[in-house]
Amino acid sequence: MTSSDPAAPVVLHQVSVAIGGRPILRDVDLAVHSGEVVTLLGPNGSGKSTLVRAVTGLLPHSRGTVRLFGTPIEDFRDWPRLGFVPQRSSAAGGVPATVREVVASGRVGRRRLLRPSRAADRRAVQSALEVVGLADRAAFGVSQLSGGQQQRVLIARALAGEPDLLVLDEPTAGVDLPNQQALADALGRLKGRGATILLVAHEIGPMMPLIDRTVVMRDGRVAYDGPPLTQEVASHTHHPHDHTHEGPGGHDHAPHVASPLDFERRAR
Amino acid sequence: MGLLDLFSYEFMQRALLAAFVTGLAAPAIGTFLVQRRLALLGDGIGHVAVTGVALGLLTGTSPTWTAVLVAVLGAVLMELIRERGHTNGDVALALLFYGGLAGGLLITGIAGEGAATLQAFLFGSLNAISVEDVWSTILLSVVVLVVALGLSPQLFAVASDPEFARVAGLRVRAYNLLIAVLAAVSITVAMRTVGLLLVSALMVVPVATSQQVARSFRTTLLGAMLMGCVAAVGGLVLSAALSFRVTVAPGPTIVLLALAMFTATWPLGVWLRRRSRLMAPFPEVTATPHRSTDEHPHEHGETCGHPAVPHGDHVDYVHDGHRHAAHGEHYDEH
């Protein structure tokens, strides 16, 4: 499967990732082809975010190969081709900043040191703001925006770098429905332009029609890789921790220990 | 001798020059510290720099340069501790703070100097600034300003979201170390005027003042530099004027003036934030069936005083828990 397109934006071959000596991802094979929109689903702790961090180079992998656009990630230098939307609840920092300033910081990978911004930088920022539908809010402070709008700011920041591959880590977490629709519209516009998108999601919602392929993670391994699953199927079969699908009183947030033996096995 | 005569003294001119460049440089780097939510890092470096000053006194070399050296080492150490130790990084930092201060006091004693010598460095001193000090202060300030302003796009990206910056291809660790080193340098720059124990205030308080009214990072940064300048120069002149009657060190005067400026702008900031929250547009969602008011004794309009909040293609007037939108003769609850 991975050998079909050697220069595909993302190719993982038997990748294992360990955090603090504990293997989190095991033997993951995954390819994202040019122009594809792939969603990564799975319960909390299944390794979705770890996978994204391995793909973006934030975490080293202990086995296998990670290739970005055909280059092994250790040798990859063309980082502006990759746009990353980290999992964050807010785009605001300790000091006020306008929407335009935050989005403009997405150009940082393409800007030369000690040089003023060029017309191309400003055009890219403006176009990114228009894609997410926040051009009229460019002069607002980011902390004035709602959580969903701030997520759109973070996406615009990644788009400002004019990436060929966009990696989003849970952009819809805690976002209201109108903003989820706005997010889906923005991703739809990008898909129309031929962008490649890898999206970690808890809720697919209005993004369903955009998706070409679904990958479901489970306990650090790929449990499903194929045509898009509807959210119901994905959450029922592979989403035991999804709180919205549990009956009242079904989950009390305490660790479940069935027997001392079971506990011992878990502890190890 | 009047206040104007004071300006003709060379030591006063030197002090004013030092205060001016310090007031510019300290808030410039302080803005990035506040952005990273490391407002107290400056305080820690200041404490460590006390050891540097004491080493200078002990070895008979210029305390400014030994302080720069030790402060930079301390800043790098703190940055590494912060990066490595996730959970109790602040405890490690506290250990470094107290180690620096205690070491400084001990070495000063060994050097045969009294607390009075050290006091000039801890709280600032008007007449302790030599010509050589002024030049090194200006030189270091210019370095801090050129690097902080020249690399501001990179530093802003790293300070606001290190993970994003790393994926964008920036060497986040190098930039974090750079911020720490610049902070250490500007602290030793401010040592002569504000003093090591109060220097952090000049890095943080002007930023806090500036962000009361500013909406963008750029205006916060430039406003903080302006506030820092006014506080440093103003506080210096004030302390000189007061020193005819009582003994005042410039450091506390500068810091209290900066705090007074913060106190003055704070109500304005509260009002601005409240207004921007009130006037934030309502989201456009597919309408729930809305009710009409039966009788509305009041005619809403541009001058009625009720906040008119944008809502799609019209405005809602907000009063008494209602969102009233004009609809023909009556108002709808939106």
Indicate the number of domains in chain B: 2
* H or E segment to which residue B258 belongs: helix B250-278
A89 near B CB under 8 A: no
The CA distance from B3 to the nearest CA of chain A, in Å, is: 38
Q: Does any domain span residue B283?
A: no
Q: Do B164 and A95 touch (CB under 8 A)?
A: no
Residues B243 and B305 in one domain: no
Listed range (A61-65, A74-78, A191-195) with the worst mean pLDDT: A191-195
Measured from the Cβ of residue B246, the count of other Cβ atoms closer than 10 Å reads 7
Residues B29 and B78 in one domain: yes
What pLDDT shows up at residue B89? 64
- pLDDT band for B309, please (50, 70, 90 cuts): confident
Residues B201 and B319 in one domain: no
Given B247, B275, B303, the domain boundary residue is B275
In chain B, DSSP finds a helix count (H) and a strand count (E) of 13, 4
Residues B198 and B267 in one domain: yes
Q: Do B215 and A114 touch (CB under 8 A)?
A: no
Q: Do B220 and A146 touch (CB under 8 A)?
A: no
Alpha-carbon distances of A212 from A116, A188, A200, B78, rounded to whole Å: 40, 12, 14, 47
What pLDDT shows up at residue A265? 40
Residue A39 near residue A211, CB atoms below 8 Å:
yes
pLDDT tens by residue, B97-126:
899 999 999 999 999 888 788 888 888 887
Nearest to B151 among A84, A88, A113 (CB): A113
Cβ contacts of A106 on chain B, cutoff 8 Å: 164, 168
Residues B300 and B259 in one domain: no
Residues B22 and B46 in one domain: yes
**Where residue B112 sits, what CATH number does that domain have?**
1.10.3470.10
B321: left (phi over 0), alpha (psi -120 to 50) or beta: left
Q: Do B211 and A96 touch (CB under 8 A)?
A: yes
The CA distance from B45 to the nearest CA of chain A, in Å, is: 20
- pLDDT band for B289, please (50, 70, 90 cuts): low
Q: Do A109 and B35 touch (CB under 8 A)?
A: no
The overall average pLDDT reported for chain B is: 88
pLDDT tens by residue, A83-131:
999 988 788 888 999 999 999 999 999 988 888 889 999 999 999 999 9
The model scores a pTM over 0.80:
yes
Nearest to B215 among A96, A154, A161 (CB): A96
Instruction: Say which residue, B173 or A243, is predicted with more confidence.
Output: B173
SS3 B33: helix
The CA distance from B170 to the nearest CA of chain A, in Å, is: 7
Residues B157 and B294 in one domain: no
Residues B77 and B108 in one domain: yes
Two structure tokens written together for B136: 């090194």
Residues B236 and B144 in one domain: yes
- Quote the domain boundaries for residue B314: 288-334
What pLDDT shows up at residue B61? 87
The CA distance from B71 to the nearest CA of chain A, in Å, is: 24
Q: Does any domain span residue B65?
A: yes
For B:36-95, CB contacts with A below 8 A are: 36-37, 39
Cβ contacts of A109 on chain B, cutoff 8 Å: 168-170
Residue whose entry in the numeric block shows the structure tokens 């990859």: A76
Cβ contacts of B150 on chain A, cutoff 8 Å: 113-114
Domain boundaries, chain A: 2-248
- Superfamily, domain A2-248: P-loop containing nucleotide triphosphate hydrolases (3.40.50.300)
* H or E segment to which residue B224 belongs: helix B217-242
Residues B27 and B125 in one domain: yes
Residues B131 and B195 in one domain: yes
Residues B271 and B293 in one domain: no
